[in-house]
Structure 1
Amino acid sequence: MSKFQRFGNPTKPRITNTNAKGTVIVDWKDVENLRRLMSPNGKILGRKRLSTSAREQRMLSQAIKRARFMALLPYTSATL
């Protein structure tokens, strides 16, 4: 057994929603979901940890940065 799968696979948070056409939607106003995609220190989690595609990760990071700019999310872990 690999040491990385010793305790089982952790459940990964659902990142994106899709509309009727099947296109991916990441909304910067959805603070509760965006907060789950950040580390306790306030960093954006990586692609391997979230298992997202490159396009989804770019959309995700852009949404988090917009939410930070609009003061919906903190830049640091002080209030996370």
Structure 2
Amino acid sequence: MRFTRNKKTDSRFNNKSTIRPLFKRKKFCRFTAEGIKHIDYKNVDLLKDFIAENGKIIPARITGTKSFYQRQLNVAIERARFLALLPYTDRH
């Protein structure tokens, strides 16, 4: 026997945490705004802004970086990791 759900009585749809904020900041490419043509792997302070606490590279859909610069960013972070300028994980 199959049960049907009613959206009004289902607790999943009545959760107040699903309400979205009224104002959402528009994402923009930081490299385009600053006029950066090439991302340098030696600029560790810039690269750290695009790495999460656990060491993963933050995706472009979250940072708002254009795909052209996201590819350069990935290469620069990998080079900096290889030269031990950046850690691979948070445990180093």
TM-score range, shorter chain: 0.7 to 0.9
Match of 1:55 among 60, 68, 75: 68
Query: Which structure 2 segments of 5+ residues have no match?
Result: 1-18
Once the two structures are TM-superposed, the CA of residue 55 in structure 1 deviates from its matched residue by 1.0
TM-score, normalising length: structure 2:
0.64
Structure with greater helix percent: 1
RMSD (CA atoms): 2.7
Q: Is the 8 A contact 1:13 1:36 kept in 2?
A: no
Change (3 A) 1:28 1:7: same
Deviates most, 49-58 or 7-16: 7-16
Aligned to 1:69: 82
**Structure whose alpha-carbon radius of gyration is higher:** 2
In the TM superposition, structure 1's runs of 4+ consecutive aligned residues that sit over 2 Å from their partners are: 5-19
Specify which of 26, 39, 46 is matched with residue 33 of structure 1. Answer: 46
Tell me how many residue pairs correspond in the alignment. Answer: 73
Report sequence identity in percent: 37
- More strand as a share of residues: 1
